[in-house]
Amino acid sequence: MSRRNGLIICISGPSGAGKGTVLGLVRDMFPGMGTSISVTTRQPRGTEQEGVEYFFRTKDEFEQMIADGEILEYDTYVGNYYGTPAAYLRRLSSEGTDCMLDLTVAGSIALKKIFGRDALTIFLMPPSLEVLEERLRGRGTETEDKIRSRLSQAEAEMKRVDEFDYTVVNDDLDRAVEEVRNLILKKQEENS
Ligand code: 5GP
């Protein structure tokens, strides 16, 4: 059994920066890696299912969870709440299971404050705002309004990149995946 706490690996970066793709590929490289399912007040998209991609809750239910101390950190993003359930992540960490999370910038910074040296924060940077806009439009899942909100959130988030442990530019998928993998391996070694 591992004698160190599980790492809380927090990945942030603008929506459309390829975060989901990078995370999926990195996760495949670490078969024992845990994951945290967030709570959100946004509506399920496409084939998303309760308890798989997210726990979908109403605003009132979400606010009750905050009041009850069940949420470790939360943020609002494009008009909805997103939060990390406390009990599950704390348990994984104390059991020594590393866990990878996809969070807003504020979320990663909040978990770094809570977990300190057990946390690793990585900012996944798109090559440029133009490329980001193209990728967002290419997804074809959002309205123009939502795309504009996501872009302005992206600009604001990119200003906080210095608060992260590392930045990885996602101009080449394979290279970005390799870089994230190496940062995780290095941190696992540092903490053991
Ligand atoms: P989406 O609506 O595209 O699934 O997610 C929108 C954003 O919410 C993503 O950029 C993701 O990083 C962020 N997010 C998802 N879950 C959480 C969470 O538990 N906490 C925070 N702070 N952000 C989250």
Q: What confidence category does residue 137 fall into, taking pLDDT thresholds of 50, 70 and 90? A: confident
Q: What is the CATH number of the domain that holds 33?
A: 3.40.50.300
> Does the pLDDT value for residue 131 go beyond 60?
yes
So what's the pLDDT on residue 28? 96
* Residue 2 within a domain: no
* Residue 169 within a domain: yes
- Domains: count for the chain: 1
Ligand 1 midpoint to CA 83 (Å): 8
Tell me the per-residue pLDDT of 144-191, one tens digit each, with 9 for 90 and over. 888 888 888 888 888 999 999 999 999 999 999 999 999 999 999 999
Give the residue, by CA position, lying nearest to ligand 1 atom 11. Answer: 103
169 φ, ψ (degrees, to nearest 5): -85, 125
pTM: 0.92
Question: In whole angstroms, how far apart are CA 157 and each of 10, 42, 131, 148?
Answer: 14, 20, 16, 14
Query: In terms of pLDDT, which residue wins out, 130 or 117?
Result: 117
Ligand 1 atom closest to the Cα of residue 40 is 16
* Residue 184 within a domain: yes
Give the residue, by CA position, lying nearest to ligand 1 atom 14. Answer: 103
> Does the pLDDT value for residue 15 go beyond 90?
no
Determine the structural domain holding residue 141 and report its residue range.
8-191
Give the residue, by CA position, lying nearest to ligand 1 atom 1. Answer: 15
Closest CA to 171 of 18, 23, 15: 18
